[in-house]
Structure 1
Amino acid sequence: MTLVRSLVFVALAAALAWGGAQGVVISRAQTELDQTLLLTTRAVETEVERLRALPDVAAEDVRVRDALAGQGALQAANHYLETVAVHAQAGELFLIDAQGDTIASSNWNRPGSFVGQNYAFRPYFQDAMAQGKGQFYAIGVTTGVPGYFLSTRIDVGDARGVLVVKLDLRPIEEIWRVAEADVALADENGVVFLSARPDWQYRALTHLQPDQLARIEATRAYSGIVLAGAEPLAQAAPDGGSVGGDGWIARVATMPSTGWQVIAARSTAGLQALSIGAAILAALATLALAAALKAWDQRRQLVALRLQQSEKLESMVVARTADLAREVEARAQVEVDLRAAQEALVHTEKMAALGRMSAAIVHEISQPLAAMEATLSAAELGLRGDDTATATRLHKAKGLIRRMQRTTKHLKSFARKDGVERSLIDLSVPVVSALELVAPRARDVGVMPVFEAPEGKIKVLAGTIRIEQVVANLLLNALDAVADVSGAAITVRLETEGGLACLSVEDTGKGIAQNDLPHVAEPFFSTKLTGESLGLGLAICKAILSDFNGTLDIRSAPGSGTRVSVTMPLAVATGAEAA
């Protein structure tokens, strides 16, 4: 079974190698044929273009024009055309009158002279008379010598005629045969008229249609040659410039100046030999590879038998190592859990200490504040009736003391939640009070907050002092953010949207780092220098707003400032509770 499989692989490799080599050698051969096409096309075009202007030049001679007009001697024209043909190395030059009769020719004194012959049936005469120029390849009906005819019309007064030069291309064909260049020329109908292969002469590449045969017969292009019964050279019409036949392949290109088809061919015998050689080499290489793989497989089995015990021992070591790794990982996780529990206990103790400190601060400050209030009241009683300025200052001082008394009661609101008292208030009132409260700090920083509020009252159910505490805290944070920023600004905006009162404090300060933004409202988290803040401001604000069904949203980016938004339900949305 293994032998059969190996033979199948060898055959498959040989077939693939043959196919690949066939494609490569054919592609390379086509490239070489394209180069041959280019060189052949340029050589033929050079030979044709060498004499293309000769009829125009010769037609300007007075002897030719006088002969056509019937005013000069035809013999002078014959001698002139003979001299020009010799010097220009052209085949023949002859002059035809308007009826198609040749009246002067370069071969006037040689057998097969064109003089007196009528060529009105030739396309080169008809095209020149109609369009001024003509060109046509044909076998001469007079001499039997093939050639390429270039013609031009001559107008001399009322007389009209055609001057024709016949270009003999047989020297080019002889050069091809000497150089063993497998090239050929075919006319617009696909009939080969010039070839290095004698057996291709006057044969069509593909089957000629009846209309093509009729046109060839009418022009007598291949006089004396039977084309109808000849077998075509190619097996199919050219596809993409490629064509092939029995034992050969070729590339075909059209020559723009003449409309001819240039054919460069090559035998496929050498290409097949290269493909077969590649297939044989692939088969041998596959056999060698199969033998090497078989030897390697036997050696691998032997090594596997010797290492079987070692692998079993290694698997035991790996299993034990995995157990130890799991044990180490479990111990590390326990340490992490213990550390987290310890941090939670420390945080809980901080919260308890904060509650005790808040109660102690309220107790220690409330009595001095009450005494100060009583002293200010006594001072008011001792004022003269006309001292209104001092009375105003004392009244304002008493108001600040009462505010401090109310504010200190909320220091322990974060550690212990008490009953929340709510009343119907205008939200702009605590905002204005907070702006007045932070005005000294704003003057020190050099940035005065701008307050934008709509006309009319925005009523919510909340506590005035606690909302004032929230706004003051947000303003102080904004002032700290713009303290060292030149040209900074703080905007406080109050508006309503969708049944909500929206209060925003926006600054153009330093902003908050993206890593710190999720933690700024957490207790004891602060980005300020050690000792400047406990990190409780935003946490207390968030706790106060939650008592009034409000929310706190913070948006910031480093270097782009910070926007803190507070939203609370409008009182009109909870009419029953307001009543």
Structure 2
Amino acid sequence: MAKPAARMTFWRVIAVCAISVAAAVGAWRIALSGIDARLDRSLILTLRALETEIDRFRYLPAVVGQDARIRAVIRTPDAPGADLAANRYLAEVLGLSGADQLYLMDGQGVTLAASNWDSPASFVGHDYSFRPYFRDAIATGQGAFYAIGVTTGVPGYFLSARIGDRDGPPGVVVVKVDLDPLQQAWAQAGQAVAVADPDGVVFLSGNPDWLYHPLHPLAPEARARLADLKTYPGRDPATQGPLMQGNAAWMFDASGARLRSQTAAFGDGWTVVAAAPVQPAMLSALIAGVTAALASVLGLALAKTQAQRRQLVALRLRQSEMLERKVAERTRALGREIEARRQTEAELRAAQEGLIHSEKMAALGRMSAAIVHEVSQPLAAMEATLAAAEMGAARSTEKTVARIETARNLIRRMQRTIKHLKSFSRKDTAALERIEIGAVAASALELVAPRARALGIKPRVVVPDGLLFANAGRVRLEQVLVNLLLNALDAVEGQPAPEVELRLEGAEEELHLSVRDNGPGIAPEDMPRVTEPFFSTKEEGSGLGLGLAISQAILSEIGGRLDIRSTPAAGTQMIVTLTRVREKEPV
């Protein structure tokens, strides 16, 4: 059983490899065809540009040779002023034509006049009879040759024409054409284009690394000819590596990368070469091969998957009944678990409500002594006032009325204190409503006022003009502020100059209630734990250690947050941040 399976796997691998190779070869050939088509178009454009550039100046030597000043120098080179007139004429024509240089030679190849006659690199007096363009012009009437100038060291294309009367001495007019603009245009366009001379040496190229490299290894007679004609002085193409090896359809750049190339012949025996890298074709072939392999593997995998799926259908049908039973059992278990979680959440919420109320009662306990003093003081004063009113009832009605009014004010003071205590101590719901934050802050200050007076502290209150609203529970937010104010009062107890400040600020989207004291601050090591339940730095019996934890929980319920900033020996600031609600916005 294992051998047929192994044999099947082997033939599948062979099939995948064959498909992958076929796809890669096809993609390679298609990509090469596209590269060849682009190279053909590039060659056509290059040939036309080269021909257009040269044809601009091809007839200039013959036209210049018709001028009387040029012919006069040929006939009588020693005549006074003849050479100066010819020099100026050549310079003027050069400026109008845009050529690189223009000069006149006699029948022996010695320059008689030149457009650069007044420059240090003047051609006047130099013998250029060794150049092919001179010899061809004397022999056939016209000549052309590309070379590096032996006088200027600047390369150019030399076009020449023989002039003179039939019975007079001959002369040769030469125009030097600068083809460097073409080369720069190819380089800027990123075209791998080159032009080679009849010996196969590249003298123009969009790739500077190709300049003066031979297309193929130079023969000995070609090397001797280049040296004899001084075609490229200062350059030795024989020492440069050939760009093509064997097949003319392939080239290699300076880095050794393989290039696809096409060639075309141009006048004067030149060869124009256009090349392009084959990496895109190789990448295309690789992608095609990998894609074909993946597609084949995927097809085989799909076929195998279909077979396995048919086998699994029967198994799943058998398993479905058992699975349904398990799902039903799990559903019932989840129902019981959900009910248990609901009950647990209800118990936790009830416990949280109890903790909040317990902390509220603990806060009242912390204020109890001050509240007793707050109530007993008005009672004693009221008793004395009523006694004085009874004794003076018969003597002075006005004093008695004033004393009774004083007693009534004391009663109102006690009623106000008791009202705040009753409101603070009752259990409230967690429902949110739009409340005015300034009023809540004022109520909290009223509640802690007895404690503050007992410590001899008057909290500083800073509130802005106007009403500020937020969505919260009035009593619960009041409880948060009471906790923070009591903590601040406890912190400054016994300090030389105790200060407690309650500040309300309104921003664009938020409200900030801050309680600041100048107490000893919170130690850095205690800062991460101050909001933990039952953690307290106060003396044992001074509280439950739930104030900040419950305050943080209350603020989380109403969408607020509590930030604590403290500097040891400088004080603590508790900041309550709430989302601001505009006065006319719905709750």
What's the TM-score once normalised by structure 2's chain length? 0.49
